Amino acid sequence: MPFTKKLQKFNATIRTVEVGTGDKTTKLGGGNTLPFYTFDAPTANTAKIGIEISDLGLAHEPDCIKEVYAGCETVADMAKKAITIEGVDFLCLKLEGGDPNGENRPVEELVAVAKEVADAVDFPIVVEGCKNVEKDAELLSKVAEALQGKNVLLMSAKEENYKNIGAAAGLAYNQLVGAESAVDINLAKQLNVLLKQLGVDSGKVVMNVGSSAAGYGFDYLISTLDRVKAAALGQNDDSLLMPIITPVASETWSVKESTATEEDMPEWGSVVERAIDMEIETAVACLACGTDAVILKHPTSIATVSKMISALS
Amino acid sequence: MYKVTFKFESGEGITAFAASGENLLEVARKTNVAIDAPCSGNAACGKCRVKLLSGELNSQKTRHITDEEYAAGWRLACVSKVEADVEVMVPDIASAYKGRMKAADLSSPAEVKIFTEAKEQLEAAGISLKNSLELIRVSMEAPTLDDTMPDVERIERAVAAATGVSRVRIPYSVLKSLPDKLREADFKVQCIIRRTAKNIFVYDLFPMDVKVRAGGLVVDIGTTTVSALIIDMLNGDILAKATTGNGQIRYGADVINRIIESRKEGGQKKLQDAVINETINPLIHTMCRTCGMKPAWIYRMCVGANTTMNHLLVGVNAEPLRTEPYIPAFFKTNAVFANDLGIDINQDAHIIIAPNIGSYVGGDITAGTLVSMIWNRPEYSVFIDLGTNGEIVFGNSDFLMSCACSAGPAFEGGDISCGMRATDGAIEACSIDAKTMEPTFSVIGDEGEKPVGLCGSGIIDVISELFRCGIISPKGKFVREGERIRHDKYGMGSYVLAFKEQAGSVKDVEITEVDIDNFIRAKGAIFSAIQTLLTSLDFDVSMVDDVYVAGGIGSGINMKNAVGIGMLPDIPLEKFHYIGNSSLSGAYAMLLSGEAERKVYELAQSMTYLELSTTPGYMDEFVAACFIPHTDSSLFPSVNQEF
């Protein structure tokens, strides 16, 4: 008896969100199959990879990252270098220096860095805040204003500050809004509903449903990714049809597997390899569970994940 | 040691001594000064305010007290340490939990309606309203030198002859005064007896010419509120009804805190005293005065209460209820008499306790299920008791399932900054103009009563209206600005229902984002429990024919608004029925009718208990329900925002 392939068809399609302008854009989402189920339908847009750089430059980075950006003097230089790396689809500028519990750099200074980077490269840009909800409310709103016309994705609006960021990015300056929730399908949905009620076009929202490194509560994250995708496609749930972006590097590069020195942990082997492995493993698992874009840091990780995406899409 | 003086608004005062650094709330508790502390002194609720009159207190500042109030001397007792002699004023609002004990006006048909209805429905279901108490008249020959039978044997024979039951029990309380009573009445007496299949128990003797009343006591012990009735056991008439706050409140607002408190040294006794000596006995005396009854003429008592309250009432260790695997000491007990507990009624009176069916589904629910009559109909019904614990029963004449969720004290006004029980001054209903954002409300009490706070039904209305008018987001945060919307320096928003000039209190009556958040969690707990219970049976809300809502949340909750905030399922409003305090009416039925009592035992045995804490998916349902009306708006098609 011949084998008849049974296709799993969904009535829903994840919205496509285009980051950037002109011919240098990248498309997130757009799929109507489970991740990499190319046998059900051809892949609309392949999963995307962003490269993360920080406003703090290289001072806090491990040596293996410093090597990548050798010779770069400014953050703009790093940006120029970053976008040349093979497999990179967008640039992610993380303004972590704004954290009031860290460097506490003033908003104007950070906006200037963002402006400098945006002017230096003609490439899709994602801007991440400093994770402090009050500071981000102001910071990301100002960045949205400063980068008008660049169609950047601002991450992230959370339940506590979605009004400021959503209003600035989504309404006033016509940018894209990242909606960040804490590893719970209902909370993700609730934030999307709130943004919609604020007037933000759901077609301009990308979700970050949480992030973690493999082994660090990761099962919660991937089951959330899984459920969000299943609910979006299976139930055509309008408030979950946004593409998902998952910051990976910011999680994996700080766990002990990536930081413990070889002197302390000789049996674990090379610290560089470990850090890259953590980044790859985390990213791949997220992609397999429904993430439409991951943010990474090391060229080797980017090359490996990129190879996997093209092999499976 | 320092001297601490508590002054009351009435002018009286109590002085106590405290060690340096001792917590003021603790000192108040030890001195038996009632300060409301629903959060058990965690500085979470802001209810334990006192005003510093003289001396010093080392008090932390919290967000519950504004700078102006702090300057005026207001402090939270729970974060204040005694470090010098001090005099504080305990405001009436703080002791408001004790409430003015409220005796109901039985001439109002609304007060007795639920009881008459319960009686009628039970009779229609074929349950006879007969109980085991009877009044019989016996005439004996007076003893002579030829007829030398002693008094006890004489009356035993006479009662046996009159009833046809040979075994007659005369308790010590009757024996003690038997010779006098018989001779005063010339050996012709009326007896209050209890008849069982095996024997007759004689409670009391009266001369023939006295009008005898055989009283019965019904008590609903809620975690927050206690209600009681005195009834005539012979005809079922309600002679008196009264309500008060549960005296245990100062030991914590919910059952968990009470259990913890009961495990402290002497705690079990303190909690038992608080409910019996400070709550039930005063209720009995108040009611006896209003109906001209003697407490000793009450021969039987029935209690409807949750499992924890039942344990604390009878003085049994409740700790196993709280810790895994959550085992109560009893579901049903027949072993308790009035003199065991020190309840001021006839000392031989039997105390019937409506049976528990789980550690968190108690006798209040089994009794309530009886009068909800859902066990007698083929249609699928949901019975919901809204209280500090929310309990849900679902089923019909073929099966019954139940579960309990912790809603917290929000429905009874606890954990809400301006929350209060449904007594004078409480806003019980409210509507808001979508354009001007001006509220219109009704206040419990006499005409012109000024608002002091909000009771459960008022809170439901306010939140539903705030949402409908687009003043708050589905998360309960303020999204519109106006004269009545304020933000404190921490950014927390609030809506002012009555500015202090119009309020009957020292401050504005308002609802804050924290209050709304607490309430959203309470309503989320209820809706997710309903949803989980139905889903566990592969039902959904569209298959529900009727919903019976019980609880002392206010004389009538606005079902449309309860649906509007996503507390109750979005089904046609005519399917909802408010049945009042069903724990009280259920206990009333059990007291009045032996068959009803047996029916409740039968229901308790046949009800399946679903433990939500171990049900996968409940947490998920809960988070989804913590949104107005719900994260899945397709569950609430009729709910719309107008602005």
Q: In the predicted model, is pLDDT for residue B101 greater than 70?
A: no
CB < 8 Å to B475, chain A: 159, 190, 194
Give the C-alpha distances (Å, rounded to integers) separating A214 from A93, A246, A265, A281.
Answer: 23, 13, 19, 7
Model confidence at B151, in pLDDT bands (50, 70, 90)? very high
CB atoms B475 and A190 under 8 Å: yes
pLDDT of residue B339: 94
Query: DSSP per residue over A93-134, as a string?
Result: EE-GGG-TTTT---HHHHHHHHHHHHHH--S-EEEE--S-HH
CB contact under 8 A, A190 and B473: no
Residues contacting residue B316 through CB under 8 Å, at least 6 positions apart: B329, B330
From the list A159, A186, A194, the residue facing B624 with the nearest CB is A186
Judged by a CB distance cut-off of 8 A, whether residue B642 touches chain A is no
In this predicted structure, the answer to whether residue B555 has a pLDDT above a threshold of 70 is no
Give the pLDDT of residue B7. Answer: 87
For residue B525, pLDDT beyond 80 = yes
Distance CA B240, CA B297 (A): 14
Mutation site, A171, A181, A185, A186, interface B, largest B CB count within 10 A: A186
Average pLDDT of chain B?
89
Rounded to a whole number, what is the distance in Å from the CA of B531 to chain A's nearest CA?
15
Are the Cβ atoms of B631 and A194 closer than 8 angstroms? Answer: no
Per-residue pLDDT, A141 = 96
As a whole number of angstroms, the distance between CA B171 and CA B161 comes to 19
pLDDT in tens, A114-162: 999 999 999 999 999 999 999 999 999 999 999 999 999 999 899 999 9
Q: Which architecture characterizes domain B2-98 according to CATH? A: Roll (3.10)
Say which residues have a Cβ less than 8 Å from residue B274's Cβ, sequence separation at least 6: B246, B247, B248, B250, B251
Asked if the domains at B2-98 and B133-207 fall in one CATH topology, the answer is: yes
Beta-carbon contacts below 8 Å between A and B: 27
How many CB atoms are located within 10 Å of the residue B263 CB? 12
CA atoms of A248 and B423, how far apart (whole Å): 56
- Measured between beta carbons, the chain B residues lying within 8 angstroms of A189 are 631-632
Closest CB to B631: pick one of A159, A190, A197.
A190
DSSP characters over B234-258: TT--EEEEEEEE-GGGGG-SSHHHH
Assigned CATH topology for domain B133-207: Ubiquitin-like (UB roll) (3.10.20)
Sheet of strand B350-353, all strands in order from the earlier edge strand to the far edge? B102-103, B238-245, B225-232, B215-221, B298-305, B350-353
Angle between helix B594-606 and helix B582-592 axes, rounded to 10 deg? 130
Backbone angles phi, psi at B230, to 5 degrees: -110, 130
Across the interface, whether the CB atoms of B623 and A186 are under 8 A apart is answered yes
Q: Is the dihedral of CA B575, B578, B582, B585 positive or negative?
A: negative
User: Do B354 and B302 meet the contact criterion of CB atoms below 8 Å apart?
Assistant: yes
At residue B554, does pLDDT exceed 80?
no
Mean pLDDT per 10-residue interval, chain A, length 313 residues: 88 96 93 94 94 94 95 95 96 96 95 96 96 95 96 94 93 96 95 94 96 95 95 93 97 95 94 96 97 97 97 93
**A153: contact with B, CB 8 A cutoff:** no
In the CATH scheme, what is the code of domain B363-409+520-580+610-635?
3.30.420.40
Suggest the residue from B467, B468, B475 to mutate for an interface test with chain A (most A CBs closer than 10 A).
B475
Residue B524 CB partners (closer than 8 Å, separation 6+):
B566, B622, B623, B625, B626, B627
B473–A184 CB contact, under 8 Å: no
**Residue closest to B207 by CA, chosen among B173, B233, B181:** B181
Residue B275's pLDDT is 95
* pLDDT at residue number A196: 94
pLDDT(B215) > 70 = yes
Chain A residues whose beta carbon lies within 8 Å of the beta carbon of residue B473:
194, 197
Q: Report yes or no: B266 and B316 within 8 Å, Cβ to Cβ.
A: no
Q: β-pairing, B22-23 with B80-90?
A: antiparallel
Domains of chain A, first to last: 16-312 (3.20.20.20)
Residue pair B163/B194 in contact (Cβ under 8 Å)? The answer is no
pLDDT tens across B332-363, in order?
A: 998 899 999 999 999 999 999 999 998 889 99
Tell me which residue in A159, A187, A193 faces B623 most closely, judged by beta carbons: A187
Q: Specify the pLDDT at position B406.
A: 84
Cβ separation A186–B475 shorter than 8 A? no
Q: Is the pLDDT of residue B459 over 90?
A: yes
Contact across the interface for A159 and B475, Cβ inside 8 Å: yes
Share of chain B above pLDDT 70, in %: 95
Please give the residue of chain B at the shortest CA–CA distance from A191.
B475
pLDDT tens-digit series, residues A48-68: 999 999 999 998 899 999 999
pLDDT recorded at residue B111: 75
Q: Which of the pair, A238 or B447, is modelled with greater confidence?
A: A238
Chain B: give the shortest CA distance to residue A239, in Å: 9
Q: What are phi and psi of B611, to 5 degrees?
A: -85, 110
Alpha helices in B571-633 (DSSP H): 582-592, 594-606, 618-625
pLDDT at B39 over 90: no
A187, A190, A191, A198: which to substitute to probe chain B, counting the most B Cβ within 10 Å? A190
The architecture CATH gives domain B116-127+219-353: 2-Layer Sandwich (3.30)
The CA distance from B564 to the nearest CA of chain A, in Å, is 17
The closest of B315, B230, B245, B250 to B279, measured between CA atoms, is B245
Does residue B100 surpass a pLDDT of 60? no
Q: What is the pLDDT of residues B253-312, one digit of tens each?
A: 788 889 998 998 899 999 999 999 989 999 999 999 999 999 999 999 999 999 999 999
Per-residue pLDDT tens over the stretch B534-551: 999 999 999 999 999 998
Question: What is the pLDDT confidence band of residue B94, given thresholds at 50, 70 and 90?
Answer: very low
Check A197 against B631: CB less than 8 A apart: no
- Our CA-based measurement puts residue B465 at a distance from the nearest CA of chain A, in whole angstroms, of 17
Give first-to-last CA distance, chain B, whole Å: 60
For residue B452, the model assigns a pLDDT of 82
| Domain spans of chain B, in order of start | 2-98, 116-127+219-353, 133-207, 363-409+520-580+610-635, 413-512
Both tokens of residue B364? Answer: 């209040």
Largest separation between any pair of C-alpha atoms in chain B:
97
- The answer to whether A163 contacts chain B (CB < 8 Å) is yes
- Backbone torsions φ then ψ of B154, nearest 5 degrees: -65, -50
A186·B631 Cβ contact <8 A: yes
Tokens of A159: 């339940």
Q: How many CA atoms lie within 13 A of B260 on its CB side?
A: 10
The first and second tokens of residue B315, run together, are 């003085």
Which B-chain residues 446-475 have CB contacts (< 8 A) with chain A?
Answer: 473-475
A 179-238 residues with CB < 8 A to B: 184-187, 189-190, 193-194, 197
**Which position has the higher pLDDT, B101 or B231?**
B231
In this prediction, residue B99 has a pLDDT band, given cuts at 50, 70 and 90, of low
**Residues 6 or more apart whose Cβ sits within 8 Å of residue A75:** A53, A54, A55, A57, A93, A113, A116, A117
pTM of the model: 0.82
